[in-house]
Chains A and B, each alone.
Chain A
C-alpha cells in the first residue's frame, strides 16, 4: 500500500506582523507545518499501521519547506517528494496541479490524503482539485476512514449530516481535525528524519499552469475591541458586566 500525504509549509499566523501602513510583512515571517496537516500525516500513519506499505510526504515550496517535510518524516513517514517552487506566484489550482503531476511521476499511490484546509489561508481547494486532476474518487472532510481490500468506507462530516461514502482504491480524501490526535515525534525520530530520502522535483519540470486567481490587495485586520477589564469580587464583576452589556443593548434586563 502506498499512501501519499500532503503538507504545507505555511506562514505561522500567530507570528505574522504588520507594517506601519497596515500591510502584513511576509518577508522573514515564521513558518510551520500547517496545523491541520498533522492530522493528515497521523491518518496516513494509522492507515499504514493497519494496511502495511509506506507513507510518502508531498510538499510544494521553497527549500525552507523542507522543515515541515522533516517534521512529517519525524512523525513516522518513510520518504518525501519535494516540488521545489516559489509558491508566491501560485494559486491553489497550480499547487494541486504540481502535487497531482508529481504523484503521477513517483506513484502510483493507493491513497492520497490532505487536511481539509491550510491554517494560513484555509481555502480547501487543493484536495478536490488533486482528485479532479488525477481522475480519482474523492471523499472530502473525512472524520473516519476504513480501508480494506480494494476499497474504503469514509464518513464525511458535513454541516448538518454525516455521509457514508465508498471509494474504490486508489482515491483521494481530505480529513477534518477531529479524525485523530496527531502523535509527537520522539527525539530519536527527529534525529533520524534527516536521513530519510527526499526526492526533489523542480516545478519547471512539471509544466505547471499559470495561476488563475491573483491577489489584488492585502491589509491587516485590526481587532478593534474595547478591551475593558472588569475588576472586583465575582458578584461585583458579574453586576458590572451585565450593566455594560445592557448599555450596549445586547442583553435585556
Chain B
C-alpha cells in the first residue's frame, strides 16, 4: 500500500503535517504515516501507523541528520510523498532530502492535492500578491506551511521500527538556548496590536503594549522596530521573513504597510490601522482606518475599553 510520510522536529508541526498527509493518502488509497526519528514522542498523533527511525548515532536535532535519516528510511519504506512542516529547520530537511532522492520539493504549501501522478500545493508569492500552484511528479517531497492544517489528534495503532545505521553530520551543534521571548505566541493570538515606525521612541511602546493588554491580545511589530532599531526581539517581527499571523483582529499602529509586512498579516480576519499619513499603503490593506495621531487615538481607545 502506498504511504505518505509526515515528519517535523516539533510535535505541533508533526501533527499538522499528518493531517495534510492523511488527505493525500486518502486520495491515493494509501496510509498516512507519522515518522519519528530516534524515539516515539508522546505528543504525536497517528492514523494507525507510526514509523520510528532508529539510528546508530544521535540523537541529534540537526536538520542535516534528520534529512539523512529520512533518506535512508525512504529507501526501504518507499513512500510516495514525504511531507515536512515548513519550520526553518524543516525547510532544510526537505530540500536536502529531495536532493538526496533526486526528486522535486514543493515549498511551503497548503491546499495540497494529488491526481495519483503528481502532488500539487499552493503558496503565496510576490509578498502575497500572487497565489501560485506548484506541482511535482510523485514520489516527491513537500514542506507544509505551518498553521495551514488543523493538528491531527488520533492515537494508537501500530509502531514500526526501522534501523538505518550511522549518520555523520558536517556541522557541529555546540548548543542551543531557548529565546527569552519564546512564550510570545503571535501565531496563536486572537488579537494583535502591532507597532511600527510611527512610534517615536522605545519607551512609547508601553502605550501599544497597554492597549494590547486591554484588548486581551498580544503586541507585535514591523521589521524596522526589531531588525533596525532593536527595540523588540526578532520574535515580535510580523511579516514575510518574520512571523506570519492570522488573528481575528490585527491593529496596525504607526505602520506604513510595506508589502512584506502585509504579506505576514493578510490572513487576518479584520485589519485595522492607525496612521498619520492618509496615503500610507496600510490603509489599502485595512478594513478600518483611522487617519490620526497614534499618541492621541491609542489612549482614547484604551480609555473607552476601560470605561466599558
Q: Are A and B associated in one complex?
A: yes
- Give the distance in Å from the alpha carbon of A124 to the alpha carbon of B88 in the complex: 9
Question: Number of B residues whose C-beta is below 8 Å from A?
Answer: 86
Query: Which secondary structure dominates chain A's binding surface?
Result: mixed
| Residues on B with beta carbons closer than 8 Å to the beta carbon of A91 | 104
Identify the closest chain B residue to A36 (Cβ). Answer: B241
Identify the closest chain A residue to B100 (Cβ). Answer: A132
Query: Which secondary structure dominates chain B's binding surface?
Result: mixed
User: Which stretch (A60-68, A77-85, A138-146, A198-206) binds chain B?
Assistant: A138-146
Residue-wise interface mask of A (100-128) relative to B, using a CB-CB cutoff of 8 A (1 in contact, 0 not): 00000000000000001101111111001
Q: Does A235 contact B (CB under 8 A)?
A: yes
Identify the closest chain B residue to A121 (Cβ). Answer: B125
Identify the closest chain A residue to B169 (Cβ). Answer: A137
Q: Does B18 contact A (CB under 8 A)?
A: no
- Give the distance in Å from the alpha carbon of A160 to the alpha carbon of B228 in the complex: 20
Instruction: Tell me whether B241 and A116 are in contact (CB under 8 A).
Output: yes
- Give the distance in Å from the alpha carbon of A245 to the alpha carbon of B226 in the complex: 28
Question: Number of A residues whose C-beta is below 8 Å from B?
Answer: 84
Q: Does A251 contact B (CB under 8 A)?
A: yes
Instruction: Tell me whether B170 and A138 are in contact (CB under 8 A).
Output: yes
Q: Does B246 contact A (CB under 8 A)?
A: no
B248's contact among A18, A214, A250, by CB below 8 Å, is which? Answer: A250
- Give the distance in Å from the alpha carbon of A136 to the alpha carbon of B64 in the complex: 11
Instruction: Tell me whether A167 and B304 are in contact (CB under 8 A).
Output: no
User: Which stretch (B27-35, B126-134, B198-206) binds chain A?
Assistant: B126-134
- Give the distance in Å from the alpha carbon of A251 to the alpha carbon of B125 in the complex: 31
Identify the closest chain B residue to A11 (Cβ). Answer: B126
Residue-wise interface mask of A (176-218) relative to B, using a CB-CB cutoff of 8 A (1 in contact, 0 not): 1110010000000000000000000000000000001111111
User: Top 9 A-B pairs ranked by shortest CB distance?
Assistant: A212-B104, A238-B300, A234-B296, A137-B170, A123-B107, A226-B287, A160-B182, A250-B249, A164-B174
Identify the closest chain A residue to B223 (Cβ). Answer: A177
Residue-wise interface mask of A (128-171) relative to B, using a CB-CB cutoff of 8 A (1 in contact, 0 not): 11011101111111010000000001001111111111111001
